[in-house]
Amino acid sequence: MADHKPPPSPAPRALFLVNRHARRGGEAIGAAVTRLEAGGITLLRRDLPKKHGIPALIREHVGQVDFVILGGGDGTLNGAAEALIETGLPLGVLPMGTANDFARTLGIPADLAAAAEVIAAGRSRRIDVGEVNGHPFLNVASIGFSAELARALSAEAKKRWGRLGYARAALTILRRSQRFRLDLAYDGTHERVWSTQLAVGNGKFYGGGLQVEESAAPDDGRLDVYSLEVDHWWELVALAPALRRGTQGRWRKVRSFSTTELQVTTRHHHDVNCDGELVTATPATFRLRPAALSVFAPAGEGTA
């Protein structure tokens, strides 16, 4: 009897979108493309629309592609999150932004060819996604200082100055920041606090390498929350090393806790910053969407 070999599996097809206006958008991505194609991936290259057009483009390609590859920063990834969750298409990341905190959280290399190698390897990780007033976030959503920084720092400034632009704008805003009142409701607890910043983290890193909590992970089934309740701006400067390590919750003037749902109300409306973009305002309801998104990530805990 003759042997019957199964037909070869078709080459995986990926919708390939690159933000040429990202911080690293001017870099040649030829090496990344070469590595992806060498891995047997067929790339459907499309021009990346403005952020609000990304979901429609992804939905248009359902049934035509097996996953989506996005080259850009955290704002670009945030703009695609809802459509990726809705369609179930996995995400491949080429980190080309200013901070690339999502890639840092997942251990995706900053080098574009190495990041392409991660995608070609085909190992995926299911991660949680945060949500505030219906808007998804991958890293951190915040009210207060970070939202003011996002408003002050233009896309052009981020592209031109990179992390230096963050530092310059942050120092200016820091010196004029003031505490504001928040009412917090979570897990049967109600608290009224005066805060300079409230941060709600789904992932681990934000703001160019700060950590929301040292043990945070994007698949741990929780939102990590902290509130900076300092009296003077210079106390935030003293807190900087702890914010880099994610140990700020040990400080007396920092409130920290974990939850899966949080309601926040304020006396006046305050903007909410999601992954570097201002998308909504208080009152705000934060929720966790567990295991909502599949992302190609380096081998390790949570990958398959």
Report the catalytic residues: 277
Are the C-beta atoms of 111 and 166 separated by less than 8 Å? Answer: no
Rounded to an integer, what distance in angstroms lies between the CA atom of residue 115 and that of residue 55?
A: 23
What values do phi and psi take at 252, rounded to 5? -65, -35
Which 3-state string (H, E, C) describes the chain? CCCCCCCCCCCCEEEEEECCCCCCCCCCCHHHHHHHHHCCCEEEECCCCCHHHHHHHHHHCECCECEEEEEECHHHHHHHHHHHHHHCCCEEEEECCCCCHHHHHHCCCCCHHHHHHHHHHCCEEEEEEEEECCEEECCEEEEEHHHHHHHHCCHHHHHHHCHHHHHHHHHHHHCCCCCEEEEEEECCEEEEEEECEEEEECCCEECCCEECCCCCCCCCCCEEEEEECCCCHHHHHHHHHHHHHCCHHHCCCEEEEEECEEEEEECCCCEEEECCEEEEECCEEEEEEEEEEEEECCCCCCEC
Are the C-beta atoms of 262 and 285 separated by less than 8 Å? Answer: yes
